[in-house]
Amino acid sequence: MDYLKNTYDCIVVGAGHAGCEAAIAAAKLGAKVLLCTLNVDNIALMPCNPAIGGPAKSTLVREIDALGGVMGEVADATYIQMKMLNSSKGPAVRALRAQSDKKQYMNYMRNIIESNDNIYLRQACITHLIAENGVISGAVDEFGIEYKARSIILTTGTSLSGRIFVGLKSYSAGRLGEPAAIGLSESLKKLGISIKKLKTGTPPRVDKRTIDYSKMAIQPGDEELNFYSFKPNRPVRPQYPCYLTRTNEETHRIIKENLDKSPMFQGLIEGVGPRYCPSIEDKIVRFSSNPSHHIFIEPEGLGTYEVYIQGFSSSLPADVQVKMLHTLPGLEKAHVIKPAYAVEYDYVPAVQTMHSLMSKDIKGLFFAGQINGTSGYEEAAAQGLIAGINAINYMNNSEMLELSRSSSYIGTLIDDLVTKDIQDPYRMLTSRSEYRLLLRQDNADARLTPTGYKLGLIDNMQYKIFSEKQENIEKEMLRLQEYKISATDKANEILSKYGEHIDRGMRASELLKRPNITYKILKELDETIANANIPRDVYEQVEVLIKYDGYLKRQEFQVEQAGKLDKYKIPDDIDYEKIDHISSETKDKLSKIRPKTLAQASRIGGVKPADISVLMVLLERHSIARKVF
């Protein structure tokens, strides 16, 4: 590598959440990385919601941390509120959410990047890619400067040919106040890569000094803190509240009367918007019977008066937005700092990539984040981490890291992207995983830290802490299986507070299986358990493993059964057109996606169980199958 001659090991295009994780991972693995961004002052910007986590997304953040990524560490260092969502429900759907200080988050991430001697930061717009014989070799910026590299990771977010809409007016931009990336889409098309369009949006920002919070419901953070990173010594910071208000009949009336000014309803926007985060006008039309919608008021940071109006994204004209906002309780006199807007942008359908996130057609070219059709910082960061790791594996001729659906939400996310023809921005949901009871946010370290350590992204100290935690979990599990709680009057007096009673001595583990009993209650019942001083992260794991033992074993059996189809490997050169007894539609889908296993083939939309049976017979009877391979 000779950076003086613009030669690097890896080029990362874009410094959003995907680009940051990709560059940091590649650099930690020893590569010299050129990180190009349209504006170096917008590294790790949160252009939409100033928050990390939430349902399913918190699991992604914990998995990123377990593999050696940085999003969890940065979120822990810069939160202004921590809240565990669904805390009264089962562990599979509990989700940590951090309201972040937007500027502090950006500064912390930039410091990580600038303190890494292997990362070379450059403000530049990459307009062309250079590939020779199907192998990437470099890139060119808007000034005609050429950069050479053996691998390139594209993490362009909404900047790729982005166009912003406010009402019926539009202009070229990837984000408000930032230019679009022009030229790269055409370069990708020349390389034979298909491009499509998607749309997303963001709400207005208002001045908190013009809000009457007394008319809203307060939403405080948790008293008992939880964190994303499994590293020790997480900071305890002051917490600040969010607030809740609602739309009303007047809000809906103004929106309906101005739909003729909406670029979405007038057909000016081609791209499909996010299904699970629609604009307020889309909500009013789609859910016309709903008289009201929740609107959350969230601070953007401690050093600004800007407040984020969650649930109020829109592409209506700016003056209409003000009228809409002024109908909300507490926002009658709100001053708008930034209007809401929609942005339409180019993306690369991920069926053109492999599970490693490398292009099927251009070796050394990787895609991560919204360019793959996803929505959300956490989804982007997860892809960026995998792309950064695999860019180095590709250069070292090492085995690619391809996480399975049964190992992680990251594996589920990527498998969905490369297997299913996504038509709208993909958002990770707990319902997308068939193994969500096994893939919880609380056990991400147990599932993925050994992988991160093997890769070299988890250091010896962190791995030692992890190993000691796992050892302590096993010890406490065994202790509770052997230790007995006596059926004393005192014990039953305590148990009666929780609607429970015991007539005989009972093993602590047996008592813990009861729905109303927690480990904290065991500590209340027995001094020996209380005095053991078991750390919270240990006893919480013990509680889940004991209480849900039957369900966990059932899901492990499902993983084992599903794994049988994974054993059927499909040759790369199979000719689906020559296979009888499957439809032309199925042949087209299989030829387009080219699944690696029968399991992946079974997840392709439109491929029927009967088609899988035909393929299974061919693969089992290889002498017959030989004619199509």
Residues 16 and 149 in one domain: yes
Per cent of the chain over pLDDT 90 is: 81
**Can you say how many angstroms the Cα of residue 286 is from the centroid of all Cα atoms in its chain?**
26
Q: Is the pLDDT of residue 404 over 80?
A: yes
Return the higher-pLDDT residue of 216 and 424. Answer: 216
Based on the domain organization, do 327 and 350 belong to the same domain?
A: no
Query: In this structure, what DSSP letter does residue 1 have?
Result: -
- Give the C-alpha separation, 442 to 92, whole Å: 9
Question: What rounded mean pLDDT belongs to the chain?
Answer: 93
Answer yes or no: do 27 and 162 share one domain: yes
Region 61-75: mean pLDDT is 98
pLDDT in tens, 525-568: 988 998 989 999 999 999 999 999 999 999 999 888 888 888 88
Query: Which CATH number is 396's domain given?
Result: 3.50.50.60
Q: Strands (DSSP E) along 504-557, which ranges?
A: 506-507
pLDDT > 70 fraction of the chain, expressed in percent and rounded: 98
User: Do residues 226 and 245 share a domain?
Assistant: yes
pLDDT recorded at residue 610: 84
Residue 1: predicted pLDDT = 57
Claim to verify: residue 184 and residue 304 sit in the same structural domain: no
Is 78 part of any domain? no
Q: Is residue 90 part of a domain?
A: no
Tell which of 343, 359, 381 closes a domain.
Answer: 343
Judge whether 519 and 512 are in contact, CB under 8 Å: yes
Per-residue CA distances from 383 to 111, 307, 414 (Å): 21, 29, 8
User: Span 120-137, mean pLDDT?
Assistant: 97
Residue 311 lies inside a defined structural domain of this protein: yes
Residue 339 has pLDDT above 80, yes or no: yes
DSSP bridge pairs for 244 = 217, 296
Burial class (CB in 10 A: 0-12, 13-18, 19+), 279: buried
Lowest mean pLDDT among 441-450, 509-518, 603-612: 603-612
pLDDT at position 598: 87
Instruction: Pull the structure tokens for residue 328.
Output: 């909300």
User: What's the rounded mean pLDDT across residues 264-276?
Assistant: 81
* Confidence band, pLDDT 50/70/90 cuts, at residue 622: low
Residues paired with 170 in a beta bridge: 165
**Closest to 577 (Cα-Cα) out of 629, 612, 617:** 629
Q: Is the pLDDT of residue 196 over 50?
A: yes
Give the CA distances from residue 375 to residues 217, 281, 482, in Å, rounded to whole numbers and listed in that order: 29, 19, 48
| pLDDT tens digits for range 451-460 | 999 999 999 9
Helix (H, G, I), strand (E, B) or coil at 360: coil
CATH code assigned at 319:
2.40.30.260
**Phi, psi of 148, deg, nearest 5:** -100, 140
Q: Out of 343, 358, 373, pick the residue that ends a domain.
A: 343
The secondary structure of residue 231, as a DSSP letter, is S
Residue 374 lies in a domain: yes
Whether 624 has a pLDDT exceeding 60, the answer reads no
pLDDT score, position 278 = 87
Q: Same domain, yes or no, for 508 and 573?
A: no
Same domain, 356 and 209: no
> Do 39 and 187 lie in a common domain?
yes
Contact 280, 139 (CB under 8 A): no
Express each pLDDT in 72-90 by its tens digit: 999 999 999 999 999 888 8
**Per the domain annotation, does 70 fall within a domain?**
no
- Residue 566: per-residue pLDDT: 84
* pTM reported for the whole predicted model: 0.94
CA atoms within 13 A on the CB side of 244: 7
447 in a structural domain: no
Range of the domain at 183: 3-49+107-200+345-429
Q: Is residue 61 part of a domain?
A: no
Q: What is the mean pLDDT of residues 167-196?
A: 95
One domain, residues 499 and 608:
no
Q: Mean pLDDT, to the nearest integer, of 397-409?
A: 96
According to the model, what pLDDT value does residue 625 have? 42
Q: What CATH number is given to the structural domain containing 467?
A: 1.10.10.1800
HSE of 253, CA atoms in CB hemisphere, 13 A: 7
pLDDT of residue 3: 64
Residue 267 CA: distances (Å) to CA of 165, 221, 262, 279: 12, 41, 9, 15
Q: How many domains does the chain have?
A: 4
For residue 26, give the 3-state DSSP assignment: helix
State pLDDT tens for residues 495-514.
999 999 999 999 999 999 99
Residue 582 φ then ψ, to 5°: -130, 150
Q: Tokens for 251, please give them.
A: 């809000």
Tokens of residue 343, six digits? 């942005």
> Which of 555, 577, 594 delimits the end of a domain?
555
Our measurement of the distance from residue 603's CA atom to the centroid of its chain's CA atoms, rounded to an integer in Å, reads 21
User: Residue 434 and residue 11: Cα distance in Å, rounded?
Assistant: 35
Question: 221 and 329: one domain?
Answer: yes
293 and 379 housed in the same domain: no
pLDDT (0 to 100) of residue 160: 97
Q: Report the CATH number that the domain containing residue 624 is assigned in CATH.
A: 1.10.150.570
Q: For the residues of 417-486, what is the DSSP string, one character each?
A: HHHS---S-B---GGG-TTTTTS-GGGHHHHHHHHHHHHT-S-HHHHHHHHHHHHHHHHHHHHHHH-EE-
Give the 3-state secondary structure of residue 487: coil
Asked if residue 8 is part of any domain, the answer here is yes
Judge whether residue 628 has pLDDT over 70: no
Q: Are 622 and 570 in contact (CB under 8 A)?
A: no
State which H helix or E strand residue 319 sits in: helix 318-325
- Give the residue among 385, 392, 438 at the shortest CA–CA distance from 410: 385
Question: Token pair of 527, please?
Answer: 């001094």
Q: Which helix (H) or strand (E) element contains residue 412? A: helix 409-419
Domain identity same for 260 and 339: yes
Angstrom distance (rounded) from CA 70 to CA 75: 9
